[in-house]
Amino acid sequence: MLKTLLCALISSACLKPVPVHALGEFVKYEELQAIITSLEQDKVYAPGELNALFEQVARDEGVLKAIARPAEGTKEWKDYRPIFMTQNSVEKGLSFWRTHEAGLSRAEAQFGVPPEMILAILGVETRYGGNKGRNRVIDALATLGLDYPPRAPFFRKELREFLVLSRENGMDPLNTWGSYAGAMGFPQFMPSSWRRLAVDFDGDGKIDLINNPVDAIGSIANYFNANGWKTGEPVVVRARITSQDYDGIISKDLKAANTLGEIAKKGLAPREAASYLASTPASAIRLQGDNGGEFWLGFTNFYVITTYNRSIMYAMAAFQLSQELKTAREAELANTTATALPAETP
Overall size of the chain counted in residues: 346
What backbone torsions phi and psi does residue 29 show, to the nearest 5 degrees? -75, 130
**Shortest CA distance to 57 belongs to which of 88, 32, 31, 87?**
32
* Catalytic residue (one of 125, 158, 161, 324): 125
Q: How far apart are CA 289 and CA 68, in angstroms?
A: 24
Contact at 8 Å (CB) between 260 and 276? yes
125 catalytic per annotation: yes
∠ Cα 256 257 260 (to 5°): 75
Pairing type for strands 292-298 and 236-241 reads: antiparallel
Burial of 142 (0-12, 13-18, 19+ CB in 10 A): buried
CB count in 10 Å sphere of residue 55: 13
Hey, which residues does 216 pair with through a beta bridge? none
∠ Cα 323 125 219 (to 5°): 85
Query: Which residues are part of the catalytic machinery?
Result: 125
